[in-house]
Amino acid sequence: MAFKCIEKIGEGGMGCVWKGCDQNRKIVAIKMMSNQLSYNPLYRELFYNEVQALKKMDHPSVVHILGDPYMDEAGNLFLPMEYVDGVNLEKYVLEHGAMSEDDAIRMMIQILDAMQYVHEQGCIHRDIKPANIMVRKDGNVCIIDFGIAKDARVGSSGETVGKVIGTDGYMSPEQANGLNVDLRTDIYSLGCLLYFMFVGEHAIATRGNEYNTIQAILKEEMPLPSSKNKTISPEIDRIFRKAVDKNMTLRFQSAKGFKTALNDIIRRPPNGIPYPLLGPQGGNPEGTKGEKTKESHNFGWAILSLLLPFVGWFLYGVWRDNKPKLASEINIMASIGFSVYVVALLVLLACGVAS
């Protein structure tokens, strides 16, 4: 066997994770599904789903697999994976408390970058939650546990129909209803994740039984983050509400769109007054540049119009005080100065009409 299990570091509903090493003593993580589950075709299919999903991935914020799955003589299934040195986001928030707006946004943008990549590979995670986001010691994140990931290219008659798959509190309404899902299901879960980062609590707490939990997901409105954390801005509330809309057509339609909304908050000036939105979507600053250019031109002409009377007055004084023999020359200079002044005034008036 190329890999050796050293100590158990995690356990879940479909198996456990071991800290281990390879033949070169490199530390790895080894995901194990016990023989009690691996002999069940449904659970075995989920295990291999994760393998197929992760084989497509090559992103620093998505966990890597290090080899093919293998089975021991007892029938236990193993999958060698990258060892992520850190803690999951759930533990991180419980230890450090609710995150500041800036810290939460910057971490969420990392997560959304990774999820956009995952979706571009044709994969839906379907189980985004704090326990499946690892925070490395350097502060970067890593998405783990693709055990119930689904191929986004499966049509409306895909295998998810009729099955309730996901985690309470982060499961979308369409998942709770057993309907088919697409990448917007992950958007909903990401919205719930954002709430947890800001508040330190789950947006929808697990009820006493599965039925009551599903009813809460389908019918109850989630509280806004600002109702639990008064430092949260109205912009965050609006973004959260859009991400977790029960109607998936009204959510952000991609992780990239979600990320853009958060980036707009980061670019907000310190006084909190939004930058002017110019153009159809407010994204192109060319309109602002044009307005500033026009203002600077008008300002220049105004200064020129103030200076020219003094030039004219000076020339008039020279003409009045100098000798008669210079009168004709001074006359010419005064005429030129006066002409320039008149032309400048006409141009200034034209600029005023054009603006």
Catalytic positions: 127
Q: CA 142 from chain center: how many Å?
A: 15
Distances (CA, A) of 142 to 90, 98, 166, 184: 13, 19, 19, 20
- Structure-block tokens of residue 192: 């719930």
Please tell me the distance from the alpha carbon of residue 136 to that of residue 138, in angstroms, as a whole number. Answer: 5
Q: Which of 187, 184, 188, 165 is nearest to 175 (CA)?
A: 165
Please tell me the distance from the alpha carbon of residue 32 to that of residue 17, in angstroms, as a whole number. Answer: 6
C-alpha gyration radius of the chain: 33
- Structure-block tokens of residue 309: 């009377």
Please tell me the distance from the alpha carbon of residue 250 to that of residue 199, in angstroms, as a whole number. Answer: 24
Length reported for the chain: 355
Q: Which of 129, 113, 93, 105 is nearest to 231 (CA)?
A: 105
In sequence order, what DSSP letters do the residues of 127-186 get, joined into one string?
---GGGEEEETTS-EEE---TT-EETTS-TT-TTTT---S-TTT--HHHHTT----HHHH
